Structure 1
Amino acid sequence: MAAQKDSTEQSAPAKSKIDTVFRDFIEKGGRFEPQAGEHPFVSPGSAVFDLLSKFIRANRLTIHSAWAHRTLILRKLKGLEDIIPVTIVSPMLGPQGWPFASVLPFPGADVDPLYNSKHIKDLYLKANPEYSARFSVPVLWDKQNHTIVNNESSEIIRMFNSAFNDLLPPEKAALDFYPADLRTKIDEINEWVFSDINSGVYRAVFSKTQSAYEKVVYEIFAALDKVEVILTGKDYLVGDQLTEADIRLYVTAIRFDPVYVGLFKCNIRTIRDGYPAIHKWLQKLYWNNDVFKATTDFEHIKTNYYASDSLISNNNPTKIIPVGPVPHIRPL
């Protein structure tokens, strides 16, 4: 069940991979059994899963966050909306971390339906009053035990892929985005996409010297060149089907032109004009599969990166949010 450990979005985004603390799994016979409505979900700039029943697992997350975005996509692809409720927090990161709408209202953001928490950090301290690390998202919460199940997005998407299959209709249970026969190749691609692209853009923006910045940026574009070769003449990264590898790359690719090119200084090329195969792959996912469009909110994405009180937003002291690119994603 274990997945590659990735860094997750933090109250102050980290420039390199960090340890996540809550690493339990929803599984039969385990501490957290798969039950409908028992695990809400939370994340910054995204949704927190709402309370649907007496015992509920919920997801707290944000729709601006690439790490949290992965989980929203898997949740919707698998038809888990009625099993894993979600709550959206405000994309406006502040001194206390990610706020709920009760503290900082924003279109599409929600209040905490379980405890009326003010910030994501309140849930961490409820789960463990001695907790002193970063308040990361997404968060998979167990209402019955009043604690965090897991806050590692790469593991949460694996749980969403299979842990609730017995509660789903057959057509949804049959969907497998980490199939056994493709796992070796998926893991291989995930490893360098994460290090050189997903995490690479953050290493670029947090670079402290010119030489360090240039080294990272050239690594990012070398990895994108590699993706371009893989996707030439293909619709998906691995095999002939949508897999976890596509989802993990999509959440960075969709943010690349609107945010990473300008604010993160990853500007050797844009996706739309520099990578025709990646661009076509991105367009097809967004326009041909409603799950990708429905879970992508450019207002939340750009507001978080350009206007929050964060280390990244310090690169934009006026907090002016750019209009472009226009359109955010070109039609097919």
Structure 2
Amino acid sequence: MSAKPNTDEKGEFKRQSSSFREIISAEHPIYKPASGRYWLYVALACPWAHRTLITRALKGLAPVIGCSVVHWHLDDQGWRFLEARDGKTNERHWFDIAGGINSASSNGSTPVANIVDSAHRLLIDGTNEPNYGHKRLSELYIKTDPGYDGRFTVPILWDLETCTIVNNESSDIIRIFNSSAFDEFVGEEHRRLDLVPRPLEGQITVFNSWVYDKINNGVYKTGFAESAEVYEREVTSLFHYLDKLEILLDEKYSKLEAEYGKTSQDKILARYFAIGDALTEADVRLYPTIVRFDVAYHQHFKCNLATIRDDYPRIHTWLKNMYWRHEAFQRTTDFNHIKLGYTRSQPQVNPLGITPLGPKPDIWPL
């Protein structure tokens, strides 16, 4: 997410490198595991933050690591928090025990045109910041490093004890959450879940590498291109790799179909994942981009050579499988934050700030 993207003289989008890359472990001299010590700051619109929310939920860390959600509208001063006007609201209520969005979700009946950028619906448009009363995410960066001059990005994994950012790189944060660092604070079911099992680590690394560069970041390189030549090159590359993903998932589905039979969809879907026969980090890192594709990237970033729902049947089946059969994916996905966040926060892409209503439904039934 970026209100003013980094582009070079050729009009190519360049992503900023993360500045804070510490880990949490029993062996670390400062950042040691503890319940209630660490805090996660996220935007529900942001795919990079989304992957950390999914992992936090999957690993049962919602009661262990608190969470604050910035407002979906990213203005020229960066991400902002809402104010708890009654002085009592604790944004932990935003997430239920599963780590997902509660019944106050913004996916309601309010017409999108009636939702203004300054909307102040606590626990719907965002949360307050209860630890310091900050109004802006940038204050956390300055508190950590008064001389910081980079972008103020989400996610942030924060240490309440030392009052500093531990890590602001999403790929690191999900590895921290997946590690055994917090095992003593969660149940056996969550301890058993390993998103990067050693036998599959090599395959996951290779998969993540091209998915990140060509798909996760590919939609941004397409949408933020500032010349027709750059745009056409990047959109062509993006769909080339979506084709590659479709072939990979088709091969996997066909093998499962041959094993179980075409009528045994439940058995097929129980093993239908990007890598291996169980949920892994590969699924967690791919999902935030694919779930945003039709509702945001297709029109907003001009990624309109095809849609997932109409042109990539195996990717579409995988997406529905993730969303409908895995609570951590569904309950951390807020389509209003996604649609509003992109279309209202990037005036260089969408100058009028009009949010398209379609496609409908946001995601098809399984």
TM-score by length of 1: 0.89
- Which residue is 1:60 aligned to? 41
Residue among 278, 284, 294 paired with 1:247: 284
Whether contact under 8 Å (1:189, 1:245) holds in the other structure is: yes
- Which residue is 2:152 aligned to? 135
Aligned equivalents of 2:2, 2:178: Cα separation in 1: 24
1:251-262 pair list within 5 angstroms: 251-262=288-299
Whether contact under 8 Å (1:198, 1:249) holds in the other structure is: yes
- Which residue is 2:349 aligned to? 315
The answer to whether 1:181 aligns with 2:199 is yes
1:294-309 pair list within 5 angstroms: 294-308=331-345
Offset, 1:12: 3.9
The answer to whether 1:85 aligns with 2:66 is yes
Query: Considering only aligned residues, what root-mean-square deviation do their CA atoms show, in Å?
Result: 1.3
- Which residue is 1:148 aligned to? 165
Secondary structure of the structure 2 residue equivalent to 1:192: helix
- Which residue is 1:19 aligned to? 17
Identity of aligned residues (%): 43
- Which residue is 2:89 aligned to? none
Aligned equivalents of 1:81, 1:96: Cα separation in 2: 29
* Amino acid of the structure 2 residue aligned with 1:192: W
Where do 5+ consecutive residues of structure 2 fail to align? 7-12, 85-117, 254-271
* Amino acid of the structure 2 residue aligned with 1:124: Y
* Amino acid of the structure 1 residue aligned with 2:31: F
Offset, 1:212: 1.1
Aligned equivalents of 2:239, 2:288: Cα separation in 1: 17
* Amino acid of the structure 2 residue aligned with 1:187: T
- Which residue is 1:55 aligned to? none
Shift of the 13–26 alpha-carbon distance from structure 1 to 2, 3 Å rule, reads farther
Aligned equivalents of 1:147, 1:175: Cα separation in 2: 29
Where do 5+ consecutive residues of structure 1 fail to align? 1-8, 40-57
Offset, 1:13: 4.3
Equivalenced residue count is 303
Residue among 270, 277, 283 paired with 2:307: 270
1:187-202 pair list within 5 angstroms: 187-202=205-220
Aligned equivalents of 1:324, 1:313: Cα separation in 2: 20
* Amino acid of the structure 1 residue aligned with 2:67: V
The answer to whether 1:230 aligns with 2:230 is no
Aligned equivalents of 2:3, 2:312: Cα separation in 1: 32
- Which residue is 2:27 aligned to? 29
Offset, 1:208: 1.8
Whether contact under 8 Å (2:2, 2:74) holds in the other structure is: no
Higher relative contact order (CA 8 A, sep 6+): 2
Larger radius of gyration, structure 1 or 2?
A: 2
Whether contact under 8 Å (2:221, 2:234) holds in the other structure is: yes
